[in-house]
Amino acid sequence: MSTERPARGRPPVVGLVGRAGSGKSSFAAVMRERGALVLEADRVGHRVTDQDPAVREALVAEYGPEVYRPDGTLDRARVAERVFRDPEARRRLDALVHPKLVAALREAIARARREGRAPLVLVDAALMLDWGLDRDCDLVVAVVAAESAQLARLQRARGWAPEHARLRLRAQRSNEDFAARADVVVVNDGALESLRARAAELFAQWTGGGELPPRRGGSAPDHADRR
C-alpha cells in the first residue's frame, strides 16, 4: 500500500475488496453517484480478454474458437465453469490475463491522480491483495457479509445454483482475511439502505479535506452500517 497521504489537490485512491455477494457493487455505486471515479477490475479484464490479440489467440488455442461469441466477446460463463473446477486451467488463465489487467489499472490510477478531476478514485478489485495493487492505494476498505447472505445474494442476483455459488466463494479469500488486510471494514449484514448510508458517510469523510484513516492493514469491523 501507498505509504504517503495524497498530495494536496489530488484525489485519495481507495481500494475496495470483498467476496462475491458482499455488497461491493452497491458500495461502489454510492461512491459513483457522489462523483467518484470507479475503476472496475472486472470491466478492465473484459477489455483484455475481448480486445488483446495475444490473449484471444491463447484462449482460442485452449478452449476452441467457439469460446468467443459471434459479437467477439468471450463466453465467460463457459470459461468460468472450467476454471473454477480445474485449478491448473485457472492458473493458466490468471497468468495470461492478470499482468495486463494490473498494468492497465495502474496506468488508470496514475492518470486519475495526475488529472485530479474526481474527488475520489475507487479501485474495485477483489484480487487486489493478491496482485499487490493495495500498495497503489491510499487506503483499502473491505465490505464483508455472512456467507449465508453472500450465497443468497449470488443466487438471487446472478441466478447461480447453490453449488456453483459455494464453489465460487471457496475460490476466494475468507471474510476474515479481507478484514485483516483492510484499513476500514464495513459489515453488510443489514438492509441495503444501511450500506448506502455508511458508504455516503465514508465518502464525505474521505473527501472532506481531513486526514484519512491511519494505515494499519487490519481494523476492527465497522458495524456502523447496522444502524
CA distances to 47, 100, 174, 179, 205 from 120, rounded to whole Å, are: 23, 24, 27, 22, 11
Cell 504517503 sits at which residue? 4
Mean pLDDT for all residues in the chain:
88
Q: What is the tens place of the pLDDT at every residue in 11-34?
A: 999 999 999 889 999 999 999 999
Q: What is the tens place of the pLDDT at every residue in 146-198?
A: 988 888 888 887 888 888 888 888 888 899 999 999 999 999 988 899 999 99
CB 31 within 8 A of CB 120: yes
More confident residue, 115 or 4: 115
Report the sign of the C-alpha dihedral through residues 44, 49, 50, 55, in that order.
positive
Give the contacts of 196 (CB within 8 A, at least 6 positions apart): 26, 30
Cell 475520489 sits at which residue? 120
Q: What is the tens place of the pLDDT at every residue in 68-97?
A: 999 999 999 899 889 888 999 999 999 999
Q: What is the model's pTM?
A: 0.86
Bridge partner residues of 15 (DSSP):
123, 140
